[in-house]
Structure 1
Amino acid sequence: MYTQINSNITRYVSFSSSELEIFNSLLTYKEVPKKTMLLQEGEICNFEIFVIKGCVRKYYIDANGFEVILQFAIENAWVSDSSFSIYENKPSRVFIETLEDCEFFVFNPETKEELFAKAPRFERAFRILMQRSLAVTQERLFQTISRSATEKYQEFTAQYPTLSQRVAQHYIASYLGISAEFLSKIRTKMAKK
């Protein structure tokens, strides 16, 4: 049951079997149906989720009322409002919603602190996870600013090869910062090549 998350966390730091047992004992397993709102704007985020199975989106609503998807979290990914709400204990500016039936492991700030007290080397692993998350976010920002819509879509399909079969096209368009109609034209043009 814990193989997937243990493989994910040990990519960065090696742990003894007793440390992994402590880690696993503090995880909460949840099954959540499709279209479940895990977090709404204005709420305090009190979780970090590891996706075992399924797809989750993190998004905000811009000044014009449009949804802007910041992240898709699929198998082996972590999702939270780690940029603001969970660490600052302030109201979130994002929504987190399941797009498929999902299975998760969930941490809350209290269990995470308990983990760090009982197995301090996990603090380094989670610091590395946060650094990687920041690097991915920065790279996504760079790509959004500097790439054409076609290049962004090509990079998206390379990063998420099966996601276009799993989620609606308008979600992908929102993630790429383009209209669904324009994405449809890009996909048609690419299919003809």
Structure 2
Amino acid sequence: MHDALFNYLKKFKSEPLTDEEKTLIRQVFTPFKLRKKQYLLQAGDHCKYFAFVVKGAMRQYSVDDKGTEHIVRLGVEDWWMGDRESWVMKTPSNYNIDAWEHTEMLLVTRASILDLLNKTTFIYEMMRQLDERNNIANQRRLTSSISATAEKKYADFVACYPVLVERFPQHIIASYLGITKDTLSRVKRQLLQR
């Protein structure tokens, strides 16, 4: 399972990982599996782990007073899943994170990743780049949710995340976009007619 992470980390390091670096990574990233619909995190619990998805698909969502799910994040292979606020601040999470498909992942604690940062330079570079990308994605999503039409939201989603369109059903994508399933169906019909 660690080989998937080693391949992913090549993006952030110009030279191949050393045997020592691989050993350090194996020591702090623990293999873990979830069956479909099993939770990695439930609302109210503290997020103790961040997960690197090796195989499968996951979703992060909140549930409102009416029982409606609001998807805030989706993840597939080579993506990271966890509630950053809860993980960093050590506070109860507002989110559930569960497996949408049978999922294999590598889990890491905050203390372990901080320790690894002191021992390697490429982990810092990875985290810096991930933070930059995350901030850009969040800013785009916020702007989209404030001002974009349903059609624009969906078109942007398809352009940015074509793999997610293939892996998640329409009602999950609609929730992620902040629109109803019926609105998404209408938007898709309109796009097909063009």
Q: Common fold, TM-score beyond 0.5?
A: yes
1:42 shift after superposition:
0.8
Residues 146 and 131 of structure 1: CA distance in aligned 2, closer, same or farther (over 3 Å): same
The separation in 2 between residues aligned to 1:35 and 1:164, in whole angstroms, is 19
Among 38, 41, 49, the residue aligned to 1:39: 41
Q: For structure 2, which runs of at least 5 residues remain unmatched after alignment?
A: none
Match of 1:62 in 2: 64
1:145 shift after superposition:
1.8
Match of 1:170 in 2: 171
The separation in 2 between residues aligned to 1:65 and 1:107, in whole angstroms, is 31
Give the aligned residue type for 1:33: R
Is contact 2:33–2:103 with CA below 8 Å preserved after alignment? yes
1:65 shift after superposition:
3.8
Is contact 2:174–2:180 with CA below 8 Å preserved after alignment? yes
Give the aligned residue type for 1:9: L
Secondary structure of 2:12's counterpart equals: coil
Report the structure, 1 or 2, having the larger helix content: 2
Matched, 1:181 2:175: no
The separation in 2 between residues aligned to 1:112 and 1:144, in whole angstroms, is 33
Tell me how large the CA RMSD over aligned residues is: 2.0
Give the aligned residue type for 1:27: F
1:147 shift after superposition:
1.6
Match of 2:192 in 1: 191
**After the TM superposition, which residues 101-112 of structure 1 pair with which residues of structure 2 at under 5 Å, given as runs?**
101-112=102-113
Q: How many residues align?
A: 192
Match of 2:92 in 1: 91
TM-score between both structures, scaled by the size of structure 2: 0.88
Residues 135 and 165 of structure 1: CA distance in aligned 2, closer, same or farther (over 3 Å): closer
The separation in 2 between residues aligned to 1:122 and 1:14, in whole angstroms, is 12
The separation in 1 between residues aligned to 2:169 and 2:122, in whole angstroms, is 40
Match of 1:151 in 2: 152
Of 165-174 and 109-118, more deviation after overlay is shown by 109-118
Match of 2:74 in 1: 72
1:180 shift after superposition:
0.6
TM-score between both structures, scaled by the size of structure 1: 0.89
Percent identical among aligned pairs is 31
Q: Deviations over 1:144-179 (max 9, x none)?
A: 222211111111122232433432211111001111
Secondary structure of 1:10's counterpart equals: helix
Match of 1:118 in 2: 119
**After the TM superposition, which residues 128-143 of structure 1 pair with which residues of structure 2 at under 5 Å, given as runs?**
128-143=129-144
Q: For structure 1, which runs of at least 5 residues remain unmatched after alignment?
A: none
Of 154-163 and 33-42, more deviation after overlay is shown by 154-163
Match of 2:2 in 1: 2
Secondary structure of 2:11's counterpart equals: coil
Q: Deviations over 1:31-74 (max 9, x none)?
A: 21111111111100001111111111111123554211111111
Secondary structure of 1:68's counterpart equals: strand
